[in-house]
Each structure stands twice: as structure tokens, then as C-alpha cells.
Amino acid sequence: MEKIFDDVYLVHVPLPKSPLKYVNSYIITGEKPLVIDTGFNTEESYSVLNDALSELKIKRPSFFITHIHADHIGLIGRFPENYGVHISEEEYKIIEDSSGTNDYWLRMNEYLMRNGLPEEDLKIAFRILNSIFVGTYPDLLKINFISMKEGSVITTGNRKLRVLITPGHSPGHACLYDERDEILFSGDHILFTITPNITWWPSLQNSLERYIISLEKMKEIRIRDTLPGHGEIGGEPYKRIEEIIEHHKKRLNEIMGALDGELNAFQVAASIKWNVMNGEWNLFPKMQKYFALGETIAHLIYLENMRLLSRIERNGKIYYKKILK
């Protein structure tokens, strides 16, 4: 546990089996203590976060979950003694939609298959995902969620934190902003050590466009300290925003260059450069192919909306080709 300010602590909650290694969970002490993000629903994650809370003598905190990904929300079921779990209404809708079933995620998978993901790859990727998700989402039905909107305020210790809804990385991703001290708890919206994954979601169609809009929105507030959901803290947010936007522009150009004739998203993903296994697509773990495909689809949809590509649907499968001008 690391003390960041007199009343704010950072806990590196381990994420077993994930290349992300750990999630940054923040604990704000004082009256009505608040925990921002949790970790996977595993014993290892639980003991680290629980020990940190015990050390700070916090018995009953409230929680704020930046988004629905299992590395942020997963552990919440193991802290039933709480004063409520704040989450954006969009993310709450996903919980309702997938309550007791895997429906929401199956819709996502079906869409990836329509975009060329081989069934065999999907099965393996989904088995890995499931090994992380199982035991996480069923618990969510019993949680005392408090639904948050843009501008909702959470009072904790001597701080007032405003909710900023920043769709893109997930449909209702939310950051928390302390205007007095200009601190942004950025979740997975702005990360410094990796680029946040942008994918297709059943409830967020043009996720890349929404993400870029949400990044631009961050330029309107004054940020002195950025406390992200993974990796290094306190980088330069405005510079990072430009870098991330630049990264996506490069990828959009690369995809335009790769589109030769009519291709599905899986074929496009295989022909662009990734920072995985030296870019050798055939050596990619299935899980990485799954993420790379989602990312590629988000970019293809963006280009389609820019009227640079057209989408062709044949026998339930989706293909793209350039619109020649």
C-alpha cells in the first residue's frame, strides 16, 4: 500500500493470470471512506485489498467502480458489508442485461464470429474469460448498487468527487474528479503504461468515436494528478491524450492500407502490426487474437461511419471494402 496524499492510498491488487499484473485500487480515508475499483474475484486479490482495509481500520467503506470489467468490479461480491457500490447507469444496465446469464457476453462473441473469428479460437478465448468471470457476475445480483449519472457527486472524507461519464473503453465508463485539488481518478480511460483497449460492445456501437470524444472532454478540466486504473500514476494527462489519439489515427491509416479488396475484420487484424509476439499473428495466444479482433472491429466501424469503408453482409458474415472516391 502506498500513501499518495494524506487521505488517499494506492493498493496494487494482484490480477492472477492476467498480463496486466495488478489493478490500482484507491482508498480514500476519513468519514465515509471510499474504495475506487477492486480486482478479480479471487482469493489472492481479496486478501490484498482486505488487508489494506484492515490496516486502515476501515470496516464498512462505500465503493466506486469505474467500469464493468472483471478486474475492476470482480471482487465486489466479497465485501458485502458496505455503504453502497456506485456505478454508472450504463454499466448497471449491462449488469441487469447479463444478470444470471451470460447473454450480453454471448452477443459480443456472436458478433466477433460474424466478423471472422474461428469458432475454435472463440471457444478457447471464452474458456479463459470464463475462468475469470465465473463466480463474479452471479454475485452482482445481490449487490447494493447506486446508479450514477454525469455530474453526480460522492462525498468522502473531506473530498467531493464528481462523476464524469467517459464512454469508450466500456459503454458507461466513469472517472471521478476532485475539482478542488484537480485530481482525476481515470480508471481505464487514461492509462500511461498501456493503451486502453477499445472494442465493440452490444450497447456501444461506435466505441472508438465515443472514446475520442471522451478523451477530448478531459481537456476541458484542470488536472494536476491523474490516478489511473493500471500501471504508473501521475503522468502528464494532456500529453497522454494526444498520444492515445495519435495511436488510433495511425491504426486507422494502417487499416485503410491493409484493406485490399473485400476482407473480414479477422483478416484485417491478421495483417496489421501488433505489439504481441513480435507481431507474428500465427503465434498470438487465442486470447490476444480475441482482443485484437475487437479492437480492429472498433476501428472498421469508425471508418465505416466516416464513409471511407462500406460494410457488406453475406450469409450472416460481415466484410469491409474501401469506398473509392
Q: How far is the CB of 248 from Zn ion (least distance, A)?
A: 17
Nearer to Zn ion, 18 or 102 (CB): 18
Nearer to Zn ion, 121 or 188 (CB): 188
Nearer to Zn ion, 69 or 248 (CB): 69
HSE, side-chain direction, 13 A CA sphere, residue 288? 17
Alpha-carbon separation of residue 161 from 38, 213, 319 (angstroms):
18, 22, 44
Nearer to Zn ion, 69 or 289 (CB): 69
Nearer to Zn ion, 157 or 235 (CB): 235
Q: How far is the CB of 69 from Zn ion (least distance, A)?
A: 4
Number of residues interacting with Zn ion: please give it, by CB under 5 A.
2
- 3-class SS of residue 118: coil
- CA distance linking residue 1 with residue 4, whole number of Å: 9
Nearer to Zn ion, 143 or 174 (CB): 174
What is the maximal distance between C-alpha atoms in the chain? 65
Choices 25-33, 62-70, 159-167, 299-307 (CB under 5 A): range interacting with Zn ion: 62-70
Q: How far is the CB of 24 from Zn ion (least distance, A)?
A: 12
Choices 44-52, 67-75, 110-118, 275-283 (CB under 5 A): range interacting with Zn ion: 67-75
Alpha-carbon separation of residue 285 from 20, 69, 251, 294, 317 (angstroms):
15, 20, 21, 15, 24
Choices 61-69, 130-138, 216-224, 316-324 (CB under 5 A): range interacting with Zn ion: 61-69
Alpha-carbon separation of residue 291 from 112, 198, 200, 265 (angstroms):
10, 9, 10, 12
Site pattern 116..155 for Zn ion (x: CB under 5 A) = ----------------------------------------
Residue whose CB is nearest to Zn ion in the complex, by number? 69
Q: Which of 90, 121, 188, 209 binds Zn ion (CB under 5 A)?
A: 188
> Which positions from 206 through 225 interact with Zn ion, judged by CB under 5 A?
none
- 3-class SS of residue 319: strand
With binding defined as CB under 5 A, does residue 69 bind Zn ion? yes
- CA distance linking residue 35 with residue 55, whole number of Å: 14
Q: Smallest Cα–Cα separation from 16: which of 51, 43, 49, 53?
A: 43
> Which positions from 3 through 22 interact with Zn ion, judged by CB under 5 A?
none
- CA distance linking residue 188 with residue 134, whole number of Å: 22
Q: Smallest Cα–Cα separation from 227: which of 180, 189, 172?
A: 189
Nine cell digits for residue 44: 489472492
Choices 37-45, 64-72, 112-120, 126-134 (CB under 5 A): range interacting with Zn ion: 64-72
Nearer to Zn ion, 71 or 178 (CB): 71
Strands 8-14 and 2-5: antiparallel
The dihedral sign for the CA sequence 183, 238, 197, 209: positive
Q: How far is the CB of 188 from Zn ion (least distance, A)?
A: 4
Rg (CA), the chain: 20
Choices 30-38, 47-55, 68-76, 126-134 (CB under 5 A): range interacting with Zn ion: 68-76
Q: How far is the CB of 68 from Zn ion (least distance, A)?
A: 8
Nearer to Zn ion, 23 or 270 (CB): 23
Q: How far is the CB of 70 from Zn ion (least distance, A)?
A: 9
What are the residues binding Zn ion (CB under 5 A)? 69, 188
